[in-house]
Structure 1
Amino acid sequence: MPLFVIERNFAEQLDPDELDHEGIRLVNDEAGVRWIYSFLSADRKKSYCLYEASDADAIREAAARAGMPADVVVPVEQVVPPEPAGR
């Protein structure tokens, strides 16, 4: 399944502990997307998330239904490991 990086910008600081993880999972399941993980910026107003989805529209649909921003959705062409395989 294709991978996407999503940049989310928040007006207020994001507290990950206050997210409705179960609700987000249900919306994502219905839209056919899977949240892999996220990084939160130091000021807690921006996140970068890695998702699996059939296409960018599925991610935008899930984000809208979950009430989350999806300001930039970038398809990932290739995953580059920190060291070449076999080293």
Structure 2
Amino acid sequence: MPRFIVEQAFFSDMDLPTHEKGDHLFRKIISNNAEKGVTWVKSYVGRDRTRAFFVYDAPGPDEILQAGECNRLPIDDITEVSVLDPYFYLGIGESGRKTVPPSHLRTPWLPFSYLIA
């Protein structure tokens, strides 16, 4: 399933209830998204609270736009993305061969000096 980053204006006075009303609101958004084949993976809000960035899995941008209309959420920009995992490349030398044992790869909580030692 393709992955997308969706950008929209985020208003600082936007009410995001955390009680039953919020539960109902987010369940409705998730349900509307599912009807279009869209999965809301994660969201980020800019520090200045003027922009929000959403990670969606969806068949395509049209389905995201349709879900946005159903949810009455304006969408400013949609970008299809792919994952770039920097930990995949750790331990790969110029020759293309692994220079660090695989057990040390994909462990971002370890100090970097330990990974390259």
| TM-score, length basis structure 1 | 0.86
Larger radius of gyration: 2
Larger mean Cα displacement after TM superposition, 39-48 or 53-62: 39-48
Partner of 1:55: 60
Q: What is the distance in 2 between the residues matched to 1:84 and 1:51?
A: 23
**5+ residue gaps in structure 2?**
90-101, 106-117
Match of residue 87, structure 2, among 63, 78, 83: 83
**5+ residue gaps in structure 1?**
none
| Percent identity of equivalent pairs | 29
One-letter code aligned to 1:41: G
Contact 1:4-1:73 within 8 A present in 2 as well: yes
Q: What is the distance in 2 between the residues matched to 1:16 and 1:47?
A: 13
1:41-78 deviation digits (Å, cap 9, x = unpaired): 112221111000000000000001101111100011x2
1:8-28 deviation digits (Å, cap 9, x = unpaired): 113x21444465211101110
| TM-score, length basis structure 2 | 0.65
With a CA cutoff of 8 Å and minimum separation of 6, indicate the structure with the bigger relative contact order: 1
Give 1:40 shift. Answer: 0.6
Partner of 2:7: 7
Q: What is the distance in 2 between the residues matched to 1:72 and 1:56?
A: 10
> Which structure shows the bigger proportion of residues in strand conformation?
1
